[in-house]
Chains A and B, each alone.
Chain A
Amino acid sequence: MIDSTRIPKIPSFTLPGVIARIGSRLPQFPHSVNLALALNAAKRMRVLPEDTLADIEGKRFRVTVLDTGVVADITYRAGAFRPLWSTDAKPDLQFTAALSAYLQMVSRQEDPDTLFFNRSLSIEGDTELGLRVKNMLDALEWPQFAWQGMRPTFLGRG
């Protein structure tokens, strides 16, 4: 039986600076849409706990990927994650890291506290909200099939 949760070991890497320079000049709204879509898909799979979702109602989140120049702004309101147009307002919570750190974290290859201690991951804003979101992500139990289709294609099939 193929274990679909197995994905290749993700090394720490930083993409060439040119990617961030180009990426940061492109429209960011599509990234916000993609992130909201992904989180709503996870919500439909019932892996996100309802009590934590109730606690993040109306909060604004920003996820910045340093080496791709991507900034995604989303909120959770009335039962769904929604992309935010305006990036001027200060978010309630902001995650900043390189792409490899996010991939290592979501694939459970690195511990978020470790990434925070060694400064690969920065979390700013409402600390209690940050802890709540971090603990929610830590507690997620992905169904066995969940990784299929989420595998970053450039990493090949492990």
Chain B
Amino acid sequence: MAIPQLVCPAGSLAALKAAVDNGADDVYLGFRNDTNARNFAGLNFDDKSLAEGIRYAHQRGRKVLAAINTYAQAGRFADWTRAVDKAAELGVDAVIIADPAVLDYATKTHPQLRRHLSVQASATSYEAINFCRDRFGIQRAVLPRVLTLAQVENVIRHTEVEIEVFGFGSLCVMNEGRCWLSSYATGESPNTVGACSPARFVQWEKKPTEMDVRLNGILIDRYANDENAGYPTICKGRFEVAGETYYAMEEPASLNVLEMLPEIIRIGVSAIKVEGRQRSPTYVAQVTRNLRQAIDAAVAAPEKFAVKPAWAAELGKVAEGSQITLGAYNRPWR
């Protein structure tokens, strides 16, 4: 039985060290620009911190994956190829790419560098994944969070490409790589500028009894003082629909697959990914530590596996909206 790699996020060198120190096998990160889908002010790596991060991880036998997973914008293709060149030069263990043109460049220019297909490529079928293997030699594909566990198993059965699934973290509206909600309000989307709800469009306004959040002037939620808040994205807002105000698209919650870990391992998943490059080293340490213990326990004795209350409590606490869900993995409909 293969043991899935634990792939953890890092938005800073401190977070990378937290991931490595708490048991991540792989750490994924991005450069300080719009070539990655977590392009936020003050986040991510410059050349110096990336070189130090790679050194820190490699000394401890761990791997560093560089996410270059936005779509190259017209007239600026060189920004994306430069990111691929820099990742190769500094010695990352793999690049995570969505754009076929960037994949093509990496394949031809750095054939020895491992290539992973990003979740932003939105490849949900083994046909799409095998196409990318044939054309671009991808060795791993990250599945969007839209498939049931049975569908994930079906993909794994029909491809030689390693399959990576999300195991913990904030959920996307299940339209990954193809979402235009943010563009509708701001003209900017994750695939183009590397962020949904770019911070300069977000406005939190605290009033005595409530807090409003707006995206470019559009009211997306209003929280009472004792209510948990979520990220200021349109998909997780509450809107008035047919006279009722509620989460019209998706409730803020974090995916947490702890209870299905034995199944995930049994069907042959190669890697389990934690979302959250925008989160702090504290979050990375907390989530990595708990998932490490849970995966090790599920591998050692899958039949006896039970979620420890301490894992569930710590992961529940850092979850968005302080709520957890199994997401699409266990939805009854197809």
Residues of chain A having any CB pair with chain B under 8 Å: 49, 52, 55, 96, 108-114, 116-119, 122-124, 127-136, 138-141
Interface of chain A: mostly helix, strand, loop or mixed: helix
CA distance A109 to B317 in the complex (A): 12
Given A122-B206, A131-B40: A138 in contact with B322 (beta carbons within 8 A): no
Shortest Cβ-Cβ A-B pairs, 4 listed: A135-B42, A139-B12, A128-B199, A111-B283
CA distance A69 to B118 in the complex (A): 48
Q: Which of B282-305 contact A (CB under 8 A)?
A: 282-283, 285-286
**Contact of A138 with B200 in the complex, beta carbons under 8 Å:** no
CA distance A138 to B230 in the complex (A): 19
**Contact of A141 with B318 in the complex, beta carbons under 8 Å:** no
CA distance A109 to B14 in the complex (A): 14
Given A114-B283, A131-B199: A138 in contact with B11 (beta carbons within 8 A): yes
B317 contacts which chain A residues (CB < 8 A)?
Answer: 114
A138 contacts which chain B residues (CB < 8 A)?
Answer: 11-12, 14-15, 280-281
B268-287 vs A, CB cutoff 8 Å, 1 = contact: the mask equals 00000000001111110110
| Nearest B residue (CB) for A116 | B229
Q: Residue B151 at the A interface, CB < 8 A?
A: no
**Contact of B42 with A117 in the complex, beta carbons under 8 Å:** no
Given A118-B228, A128-B41: A111 in contact with B199 (beta carbons within 8 A): no
- We find that the number of chain B residues with CB closer than 8 angstroms to chain A is 39
A119 contacts which chain B residues (CB < 8 A)?
Answer: 223, 225-229
Instruction: Give 16 CB contacts A-B under 8 Å.
Output: A49-B42, A52-B42, A55-B42, A114-B318, A116-B229, A117-B321, A117-B322, A118-B228, A119-B225, A119-B226, A119-B227, A119-B228, A124-B206, A131-B42, A131-B199, A135-B12
**Contact of A111 with B229 in the complex, beta carbons under 8 Å:** no
Additional 16 contacts, C-beta under 8 A, given A111-B279, A114-B318, A132-B42: A49-B42, A108-B280, A108-B281, A108-B282, A111-B318, A112-B280, A113-B283, A116-B229, A117-B322, A119-B223, A119-B229, A124-B204, A128-B199, A128-B200, A139-B15, A141-B17
Q: Residue B13 at the A interface, CB < 8 A?
A: yes
| Nearest B residue (CB) for A123 | B204
Q: Residue B320 at the A interface, CB < 8 A?
A: yes
